[in-house]
Amino acid sequence: MSGGDKIDFEIRPNPAPVSATDRAALLANPGFGRVFTDHMVTIRYAEGKGWYDARVEARGPIPMDPASAVLHYAQEIFEGMKAYRTAGGGVTMFRPYANAARFNTSAARMAMPSLPEETFVDSLHRLIEIDREWIPDGADGSLYLRPFMFASEVFLGVRPANEYLYSVIASPVGAYFSGGVKPVTVWVSPDYTRAAPGGTGAAKCGGNYAASLAAQAEAFEHGCEQVVFLDAVERRYVDELGGMNVFFVYDDGSIATPPLTGTILPGITRESVLTLASAAGHRVEERPVAFDEWQADAASGRLREVFACGTAAVITPIGRVRFPDGEFAVAGGEPGTVTMALRQRLVDLQRGKAADPHNWVHHVL
């Protein structure tokens, strides 16, 4: 299969799925990323053959040779999105074709084959259909979907692999941060950077996240929930958090976020926030924001709110900022009205509770 050709999935139901009773117990408090559904999707790729052997099958270990290319050269990409229950008993996803497009952008940067967007979205449908009962109820509940692809060819040599495995797994989740929506404290890393110009910052690959872990651990040591990275060239301008984009709200109602210059992940939630904020009447700018500007504007009161956004956490207010020389609060450290209004608007859209003028909501069932 190649191009836009349709691929057929072989369905192999799990012969020993989790019982309804045990599933209900797990869904009562799933946490985030610790509980998984009964099935997964797999599709294989070989140079000269294209995509083949598409399956929905029982979730389980993936056999891997110790010389598999991904283990040595890190050719790997992934995506993250959610499926939601609606009040009418249906299931929605939010902008899955945007995830499909970004998946292929990441693939191109990592010298990996593209996956037709229709196949990407169809693979999500197939998994949601068979594991529908795993979608939690409740305001914060959703089914987190994790499509990923890695180099599976067995060889040692620095070149793009000729064989790949694409897979999708699913995890029922609650809120990303425990305790619900409340302002988080962030640590501005003085030593670590996330990505440099010309690197892989705009690709959603595992190496970017591995590179953030030492800085994230440093943030935890300073009592912070997340780390903020500055640019790799001047160590002056805000790039993004360890796993989220960042926005600044000012006293005149304007909103700013760092521009996409190749070092920042082009977040789908980020793009959605830009559109929603503009529609709500805010003047929106994509411009460099220096850390000293952040500190000065917080002190003067010009800066009223700061929030982070991403698929996992949706929109999360930032209340305090710590760095080696001290710390400061943003507007007293309380959630801002603009932040919470945008968050509610986004959540209502995702769950099919609001009008959708942008055709972002994808109805699965």
Q: Determine the Cα–Cα distance for residues 148 and 205; give it in Å rounded to an integer.
A: 9
Torsion sign across C-alpha atoms 204, 187, 306, 31 = positive
Whether 204 is catalytic: yes
Alpha helices (H) in 222-353, listed in sequence order:
268-279, 291-300, 337-350
H/E element holding 125?
Answer: helix 117-130
Q: Determine the Cα–Cα distance for residues 77 and 150; give it in Å rounded to an integer.
A: 7
H/E element holding 247?
Answer: strand 245-250
Q: Determine the Cα–Cα distance for residues 289 and 150; give it in Å rounded to an integer.
A: 35
Exposure on the CB side of residue 77, measured as CA atoms within 13 A:
26
Alpha helices (H) in 19-92, listed in sequence order:
20-28, 69-73
Say which amino acid occupies 326: G
**Residue among 49, 82, 204, 353 flagged as catalytic:** 204
Unique residue bearing structure tokens 């294209």: 50
Q: Determine the Cα–Cα distance for residues 257 and 278; give it in Å rounded to an integer.
A: 13
What residues are paired with 58 via a beta bridge?
39
**271 phi and psi angles, rounded to 5 deg:** -65, -40
DSSP code per residue over 172-191: EE--SSTTSS--EEEEE-SS
Catalytic residue annotation: 204
